[in-house]
Amino acid sequence: MQEAEVSLLVAIYHIKNGLTDNDVNVSIDGAHIKTGDEVHFDIQSFLNENGLIKIDEKKEKWQGTYKLDGYEPQIIISSIPGEGDVVITLDDGRKLLVESKKGKDNKSGQEYPLMREAIGQLMTGGELTDDIIPAVAVPYSKKTLELAEKWSEYHQIKQIGIRFILVKVDGDIETI
């Protein structure tokens, strides 16, 4: 599962499950979509398959504002670095600040460094105020579950309040 897919599935999940009534911001690095002629993630197919309809005027670009049929909140996709991969204002007014990482559901060995990188990005990306919930989103696997369960017990992770969002291929999420 590519990083862009993880981010978009987190956004869709929160809208479909009524966890926000606000628009959701998703920032995707263009290099995660395509470099040169090599397509890493077919974002247009993903958006179409998941019922996301572009509602702004720049139809030729994948960045823009999308509507999920039957839901009020929109998904605003941009390529702005440094804002967090997904930012969701929850119904209680707090902001879920998500750093997403790619991964595979088989044993790839990349889970550990990628999850640590995401924690580092959350810790150094800006002030984590009381109204921000920092979270790491990764594809669900035995290894990511094991790491999330272990690390969520660490004092420093609890103190900061970092959550681990494990994204399943069907779009369901397990939060630790």
Q: Note the pTM of the prediction, 2 decimals.
A: 0.96
**What tokens were used for 144?**
């990511």
What is the chain's Cα-based Rg?
16
DSSP 114-147: HHHHHHHHHHHSS---TTEEEEEEEE--HHHHHH
pLDDT tens string 14-68: 999 999 999 999 999 999 999 999 999 999 999 999 999 999 988 889 999 999 9
Query: In residues, how long is the chain?
Result: 176
For 113-119, the CB contacts below 8 A with 24+ separation are 114/138, 115/144, 115/147, 115/148, 115/151, 115/164, 119/151, 119/157, 119/162
Q: Which is higher by pLDDT, 114 or 81?
A: 114
The reported pLDDT for the residue numbered 107 is 61
CA-CA-CA-CA torsion for 46, 52, 54, 60, nearest 10 degrees? 10
pLDDT tens string 162-173: 999 999 999 999
For the chain, give percent helix, strand, coil, nearest 5. 30, 25, 40
| pLDDT over threshold 90, residue 99 | yes
